[in-house]
Amino acid sequence: MSNRPTEDALLPQAAMPANSTVKMPVGVPGYTLHEETRQAPASEPPVWPINKDLQYVGHSAHRYDGPDKASGRARYTSDVQLPGMLYAKFVNAALPHAKVISVDTSAAEKYPGVRGVYVVEHVLGPAELRNPALDRGRYPVVRFAGQPIAAIAATTPAAAQEAATLVRIQYEKLPFVVDLDKARESNAPPVFPGPADEEGSAGGGGGPSDVHQTGNVHGPSVHRVRDTEQGFKEADVIVEGHYITQVQTHSALETHGVVADWKPGMLTVWASTQGTASVREELAGYFDLPMSQVRVITEFMGGGFGAKFGAGNPGVVAAALSKKTGAPVRLMLDRQEEHLSVGNRPSSDQTLRIGAKKDGTLTAIHLVSYGTAGCGTGAGCAGPATNLYQYASLHTEENDVFINAGPASAMRAPGHPQGAFALEQTIDDLAVKLNVEPIDLRDKIDNHPVRRVERQIVRESALWKSRSPVPGADQGPVKRGVGLAQSVWYRFVRTNCAAEVRVHRDGSLEVLSAVQDIGSGIKTVLAQILAEQFGVPPSQIAVKVGDTNYPVGPDSGGSVTTLSLTPAVRDAAWQAAQKFLADIAPALGVSPSDLVLVDGEVRSGSGKFQPISFRRAAAKMTASQITAQARRVPDYDPSKYLTYGGVDVAEVEVDTELGRVHVRRVLSVHDCGRPMNPEQTISQINGGIIQGISFTLFEDRLLDPKYGLMVNPDLDLYKIAGAREIPQIDVRLVEAYIGQSSTDASGIGEAAGVVSIGAAIGNAVYNATGVRVRRTPMTPAVVLAALRQGGTQA
């Protein structure tokens, strides 16, 4: 993800009807709430007041599909079973770098139950050579162990798996490198024979394509703001740190996969995806099909975290096998493939210098980063350094280093947990050097009005007040510490999304959008919006999503879904309600403007008739169905540069004898515009915190340098935080109105804790021990090494 929201400016904007001036609530209730004027399209619905004055939106309606999920009735892609369906299995490269000389599938084809074999022609995911002619050969070059080479479709999963072992692949081994430092050396085996680039997905990731490449080093991508040389000259103090973070895999519980059913005139695909639209586009493009002949369905999906956009190799291969065999084909990756081939969070090796005046003013930030996105790009991590604080000058150099490992993909707040881990610990170092409280220093260098409120909430919290100002104050071997860090994310608006609302004569209501609910709860939010507009409880709304037969939805990446889609849904609901009232007004003997929808009733504002139930009023419709569609209109004031974020506080216990870091409590103070459903928002923040703890303390994709293979491609040796490692998490949601759309919603997925908690833990460990741990995961070995060295470079 680029650091600034620019891409939407390149899209054709929705037609702007005549504007009208509206007054909107802006700021944080109880702190900074005030009214601002905006120019909104005249067709927009009336401005909503703040949450406390709404009935359903902003309140915690139960998750729309909660009963389906809790009962096991929810049908995910991996659960789809169609008559005559075949099961497909990939045949994957066993070597990290090789030319494929031949692929012999004859034995596999003869295996009982096998119905189709497909040899992969183009591998999706890795960076693409700028000059594709450099990769001559019949088959794609293997650039990581686990790269798909072929696939088998058979009548049972077991038959497909056995037949897959019968495919004979002849390789010409190539030298490989799986270590970032070694890959940077001038004589390192080249992962690509020339410059190569990877585009980002809807979730971000990817890297710049206009940069220099030397050997395996793709970069630097340089960003300058004024003159850092001058900035450091003007500094009274300079702090510097060298930080290292590891590769993390997404490890969604439902693996990547599809069920593809290729029939004449229609390819139907159930996909575990964060973007039904992205899957349809890629399949239509790959197979040269009209968009109207590709349908993608995602009713439920078991986690993505940024890795699930487009059809990818599973989608293309399953569709090809379905076409070939004439039968529906299910292709779900196994756990090992999920670790190896469909994305990860790149590593980082950052050298960060910050110069400041005695009063804390930042004069210069200088960041040089290297990181590996495997055989992809996207290891940039300068976002936090660039966007969290005010500074006089900035210089960042981001480098991607290719290694023979699976390509990275966007992962929840791409680049930001890594960048914040370095930045926010360095800012705390600066506070130590300036002898000021870290929270006071941030007040000096961060003028974001919402962050200021959030710091005030932290300052007043019992947890922050319990922090010892003296590092390492505890006497025993287990030392307690408290630290904080801030997060930042950006407002990306997708205007390319729409929704339809239907009112039926029986009084039932439905909303339709192709948007997929990836677990963040957009289904519930859409029901709440209709409920608010029609004055009926959310439980009476039918939500139809996750199907490209409905109006196009946004791809769910970069925290765009709620903020992009909900205004379109509200606009459609409002328009449908206006049409509905206009339709029934004559039967009620009043003008439409006299009608009010509230508490499940239709009422006459002037009291011309006794209130009647919504259902009885709907029976007066002159048609069986009233519909309205609306597209997302641009933000009311797109010139405003808006970020969201929060302040996270961690309390840790560090066992200085065993090296174990345990996070006991977390206070998480976050904003996301108007919270549409606080309970679901808190769920996402809990999740961000827990994923961030897992990244900071446990997870690590380990590659064996001798064989170039991942040694822990599972969920036992690849350690993820579990029930015993979960702290008490206290989330404080800050309503922060921004006056930008008919719902004024924002997103929370990226900003939620995952960005900042690693640095908060690092700062808490410093507070506990007086030693800075500059490397993740903070395993006991890493912590003990840092303690032995007394906090010098880890």
What residues between 726 and 765 interact with other proteins by CB under 8 A? 726, 728-729
Q: Nearest distance from residue 69's CB to other proteins, in Å?
A: 3
For residue 556, state whether it binds other proteins (rule: CB under 8 A). Answer: no
Closer residue to other proteins, CB minimum distance, 211 or 307: 307
Contact 105, 90 (CB under 8 A): no
Contact 64, 524 (CB under 8 A): yes
Torsion sign, CA atoms 312, 203, 638, 552: positive
Looking up tokens 């109207």, which residue turns up? Answer: 292
Binding mask 306-345 for other proteins (x = CB under 8 A): ----------------------------xx----------
Which phi and psi (to 5°) does residue 763 adopt? Answer: -70, -30
Dist CA 422 CA 650 (whole Å): 16
Dist CA 592 CA 292 (whole Å): 38
Segment contacting other proteins by CB under 8 A, of 70-78, 113-121, 224-232, 285-293: 70-78
Out of 519, 535, 538, 567, point to the residue binding other proteins (CB under 8 A): 519
Out of 2, 19, 32, 60, point to the residue binding other proteins (CB under 8 A): 60
Contact 491, 642 (CB under 8 A): yes
For residue 78, state whether it binds other proteins (rule: CB under 8 A). Answer: yes
What residues between 575 and 604 interact with other proteins by CB under 8 A? none
For residue 157, state whether it binds other proteins (rule: CB under 8 A). Answer: yes
Dist CA 767 CA 664 (whole Å): 14
Segment contacting other proteins by CB under 8 A, of 65-73, 130-138, 366-374, 388-396: 65-73
Phi-psi category of residue 125: left, alpha or beta, with phi > 0 → left and psi -120 to 50 → alpha: left
Contact 8, 564 (CB under 8 A): no
For residue 71, state whether it binds other proteins (rule: CB under 8 A). Answer: yes
| Nearest Cα residue to 370 out of 249, 244, 487, 250 | 244
For residue 724, state whether it binds other proteins (rule: CB under 8 A). Answer: yes
Q: Which residues, 6+ apart, have CB-to-CB distance to 329 below 8 Å?
A: 85, 86, 87, 88, 116, 153, 259, 260, 261, 318, 319, 321, 322
Out of 278, 604, 668, 691, point to the residue binding other proteins (CB under 8 A): 691
For residue 274, state whether it binds other proteins (rule: CB under 8 A). Answer: no
Out of 508, 686, 707, 712, point to the residue binding other proteins (CB under 8 A): 686
Closer residue to other proteins, CB minimum distance, 13 or 165: 165
Dist CA 351 CA 397 (whole Å): 10
Which phi and psi (to 5°) does residue 583 adopt? Answer: -70, -40
Any idea what DSSP says for residue 634?
P
Q: Nearest distance from residue 657's CB to other proteins, in Å?
A: 24
Q: Nearest distance from residue 373's CB to other proteins, in Å?
A: 21
For residue 687, state whether it binds other proteins (rule: CB under 8 A). Answer: yes
Out of 196, 301, 759, 794, point to the residue binding other proteins (CB under 8 A): 301
For residue 70, state whether it binds other proteins (rule: CB under 8 A). Answer: yes
Looking up tokens 């996969």, which residue turns up? Answer: 257
Dist CA 297 CA 139 (whole Å): 32
Most distant CA pair in the chain, distance: 87
Q: Which residues pair with 588 in a beta bridge?
A: none
What residues between 250 and 269 interact with other proteins by CB under 8 A? 251-254
Segment contacting other proteins by CB under 8 A, of 519-527, 641-649, 737-745, 765-773: 519-527
Out of 176, 300, 391, 614, point to the residue binding other proteins (CB under 8 A): 300
For residue 63, state whether it binds other proteins (rule: CB under 8 A). Answer: yes
Closer residue to other proteins, CB minimum distance, 214 or 539: 539
Segment contacting other proteins by CB under 8 A, of 172-180, 480-488, 529-537, 714-722: 714-722
For residue 65, state whether it binds other proteins (rule: CB under 8 A). Answer: yes
For residue 788, state whether it binds other proteins (rule: CB under 8 A). Answer: no
Give the type of residue at 377.
T
DSSP codes of every residue in 161-183: HHHHTT-EEEEEE------HHHH
Closer residue to other proteins, CB minimum distance, 406 or 521: 521
Q: Nearest distance from residue 739's CB to other proteins, in Å?
A: 29
Structure tokens at 349: 């090796």
Dist CA 600 CA 603 (whole Å): 10
Structure tokens at 776: 């993740």
Q: Nearest distance from residue 157's CB to other proteins, in Å?
A: 7
Q: Which residues pair with 8 in a beta bridge?
A: none
Dist CA 514 CA 634 (whole Å): 20
Q: Nearest distance from residue 731's CB to other proteins, in Å?
A: 9
Segment contacting other proteins by CB under 8 A, of 16-24, 295-303, 482-490, 626-634: 295-303
Q: Which residues pair with 295 in a beta bridge?
A: 268
Instruction: Compute the 3-state secondary structure of the chain and give helix, strand, coil in percent, each to the nearest 5.
Output: 30, 25, 45
Other Cβ atoms within 10 Å of 62 Cβ, number: 15
Looking up tokens 């802006």, which residue turns up? Answer: 26
Other Cβ atoms within 10 Å of 34 Cβ, number: 10
For residue 88, state whether it binds other proteins (rule: CB under 8 A). Answer: no
For residue 546, state whether it binds other proteins (rule: CB under 8 A). Answer: no
Looking up tokens 């910050």, which residue turns up? Answer: 354
Closer residue to other proteins, CB minimum distance, 328 or 567: 328
Closer residue to other proteins, CB minimum distance, 682 or 703: 682
Q: Nearest distance from residue 65's CB to other proteins, in Å?
A: 7
Binding mask 443-472 for other proteins (x = CB under 8 A): ------------------------------
Q: Residue 22 belongs to what H/E stretch?
A: strand 19-26
Q: Count residues contacting other proteins (CB under 8 A)? A: 57
Out of 10, 15, 30, 81, point to the residue binding other proteins (CB under 8 A): 81
Contact 268, 505 (CB under 8 A): no
Q: Which residues pair with 266 in a beta bridge?
A: 263
For residue 362, state whether it binds other proteins (rule: CB under 8 A). Answer: no
349 three-state secondary structure: strand
Out of 58, 148, 302, 406, point to the residue binding other proteins (CB under 8 A): 302
What residues between 621 and 660 interact with other proteins by CB under 8 A? none
| Nearest Cα residue to 140 out of 329, 311, 375 | 375
What residues between 497 and 516 interact with other proteins by CB under 8 A? none
Contact 330, 361 (CB under 8 A): no
Q: Nearest distance from residue 347's CB to other proteins, in Å?
A: 20
Q: Nearest distance from residue 506's CB to other proteins, in Å?
A: 22
Structure tokens at 82: 């169609």
For residue 518, state whether it binds other proteins (rule: CB under 8 A). Answer: yes
Q: Nearest distance from residue 250's CB to other proteins, in Å?
A: 8
For residue 722, state whether it binds other proteins (rule: CB under 8 A). Answer: yes
Other Cβ atoms within 10 Å of 54 Cβ, number: 16
Closer residue to other proteins, CB minimum distance, 241 or 727: 727
Q: Nearest distance from residue 295's CB to other proteins, in Å?
A: 21
Any idea what DSSP says for residue 727?
P
DSSP codes of every residue in 51-107: GGG-SSTTS-PPPTTHHHHHHT----GGG---TT-EEEEEEE-SSSSEEEEEEE-HH
Closer residue to other proteins, CB minimum distance, 631 or 662: 662
Out of 48, 56, 76, 118, point to the residue binding other proteins (CB under 8 A): 76
Binding mask 660-679 for other proteins (x = CB under 8 A): -------------------x
Q: Nearest distance from residue 125's CB to other proteins, in Å?
A: 21
Size of the chain, expressed as the number of residues it contains: 794
Residues at the site binding other proteins, with contacts judged by CB under 8 A: 60, 62-63, 65-76, 78-79, 81, 157-158, 251-254, 300-303, 305, 334-335, 518-521, 679-680, 682-684, 686-691, 714-716, 720-724, 726, 728-729
